[in-house]
Amino acid sequence: MRLFRCQVCGQVLHFENTSCERCGSALGFLPGPATLSALERDGRAWRALAQPEGRFRFCANAGQDACNWLIPARATEALCKSCRHNRTIPDLGAPETLLPWRRWEVAKHRLTYTLLKLGLPMPDRAHDRTGGLAFDILADPPAGGPAVMTGHDEGLITLALAEADDAERERRRTAMGEPYRTLLGHVRHESGHFYWNRLVRDAGRLEPFRALFGDERLDYGAALARHHAEGPPADWQARYVSAYATAHPWEDFAESWAHFLHMVDTLEMAASLEFSVRPRADDSGVLQAEIAFDPYAAPDIGALVDAWVPLTHAVNSLNRCMGAPDLYPFVLSSPAIEKLGFVHDLVRGAKGGACGAARGR
């Protein structure tokens, strides 16, 4: 993610802004050029100052204050490139569902931004009825029923509405022994399962995958049960990006995928801020970096890691000064970096895939 700039007054803008704090201009996100634009009324439509040749209208979910994305004024779809992947949303007539749904939408829109920037294919259920990317955002059933669990099944990602509550997410994080658990982390992880299907299984890359991550034919249910009962191996940090990655090769890939998305998104913001790290105490230069490049165009994983390690060391050091937990509670070993490199190469190979239109709310 990066910072944006109001085309009317020059005010710094953030991705989710819907109006400029300085001049009051309405704002909308244009997924084509991936930019936030100030808007001017043009009859029943809007003219975007960042792309004045077209006319636009807001996604239908803007009416619920859940989306600020634009679609062409003459488009037949009512929903934007992110919202049209929703298959199911909670009952918005219940006041306790609207806010948590909006929180999931923030995470999902940030995921979509990154996937579009990476040029990854995003077919929906209208174009791929059995494997297209779709989201069910579900509330728990009435008392006594089983709680909804976030997960993935052949392109369908289920998001537990309850996890949008900070207290409930912290409870689950503690129960699972995870140092990091966020809504954005969830959608990135689950998208990894979707792209494993498309870029590994369906693209004939199982053998190189198995050489790095292991054999995915290992019984998944038994592997998860063993992980929850016994926890990760003591030396997991020497080979995996996270403790949960040790559960099964599918989870190892999804965790590595999510981590790659964490990296490119955070490094884009660091570049937007013209961030540089040059500790005076570091004579070796290991913790020095000037982040002045586009992470989406990085030629290899090494270019990302060389900037990532100093950046995460810096933000962790700042958090500790405030008595807060490390913002980045991970250590990247050589095997973990090799897995991230596999993900990076998959993404570069898939870049330019068409993003299908979709339906849904």
Identify the band that residue 352 occupies on the pLDDT scale cut at 50, 70 and 90: very low
Domain count, the chain: 3
pLDDT of 354 strictly over 60 = no
- Between β-strands 70-72 and 86-88, what pairing exists: parallel, antiparallel or unpaired? unpaired
192 part of a folded domain: no
Q: Within this chain, do residues 27 and 115 fall inside the same structural domain, yes or no?
A: no
Which of 52, 80, 108 terminates a domain? The answer is: 80
Which of 80, 98, 122 terminates a domain? The answer is: 80
pLDDT digits (tens, 9 = 90+) for 151-174: 999 999 999 999 999 888 888 777
Share of the chain above pLDDT 90, in %: 83
pLDDT of 77 strictly over 80 = yes
Which of 80, 109, 134 terminates a domain? The answer is: 80
Q: Within this chain, do residues 111 and 239 fall inside the same structural domain, yes or no?
A: no
pLDDT of 273 strictly over 50 = yes
Identify the band that residue 351 occupies on the pLDDT scale cut at 50, 70 and 90: confident
Task: State the average pLDDT over residues 332-361.
Answer: 76
Share of the chain above pLDDT 70, in %: 97
Residue 342 pLDDT: 98
Q: Within this chain, do residues 218 and 89 fall inside the same structural domain, yes or no?
A: no
Q: Give the dihedral of Cα atoms 307, 309, 311, 313; nearest 10 deg.
A: -160
pLDDT digits (tens, 9 = 90+) for 174-188: 777 787 889 999 999
- Answer yes or no: are the C-beta atoms of 50 and 37 closer than 8 Å: yes
Q: Within this chain, do residues 38 and 167 fall inside the same structural domain, yes or no?
A: no
193 part of a folded domain: no
pLDDT of 359 strictly over 80 = no
Residue 311 pLDDT: 96
Q: Which domain holds residue 286?
A: 205-352
Q: Within this chain, do residues 218 and 345 fall inside the same structural domain, yes or no?
A: yes
Q: In whole angstroms, give the CA distance from residue 13 to residue 208.
A: 42
pLDDT digits (tens, 9 = 90+) for 111-161: 999 999 999 999 999 888 888 999 999 999 887 788 899 999 999 999 999
359 part of a folded domain: no
pLDDT of 358 strictly over 70 = no
196 part of a folded domain: no
pLDDT of 219 strictly over 70 = yes
Residue 210 pLDDT: 98
Q: Within this chain, do residues 218 and 341 fall inside the same structural domain, yes or no?
A: yes
Q: Within this chain, do residues 148 and 177 fall inside the same structural domain, yes or no?
A: yes
Task: State the average pLDDT over residues 327-333.
Answer: 94
Residue 281 pLDDT: 82
269 part of a folded domain: yes
Q: Within this chain, do residues 270 and 348 fall inside the same structural domain, yes or no?
A: yes
Q: Within this chain, do residues 247 and 325 fall inside the same structural domain, yes or no?
A: yes
pLDDT of 356 strictly over 50 = no
pLDDT of 355 strictly over 60 = no
Q: Within this chain, do residues 45 and 95 fall inside the same structural domain, yes or no?
A: no
Q: Within this chain, do residues 72 and 96 fall inside the same structural domain, yes or no?
A: no
Q: Within this chain, do residues 66 and 112 fall inside the same structural domain, yes or no?
A: no
pLDDT of 70 strictly over 50 = yes
358 part of a folded domain: no
Rg of the chain in Å (alpha carbons): 21
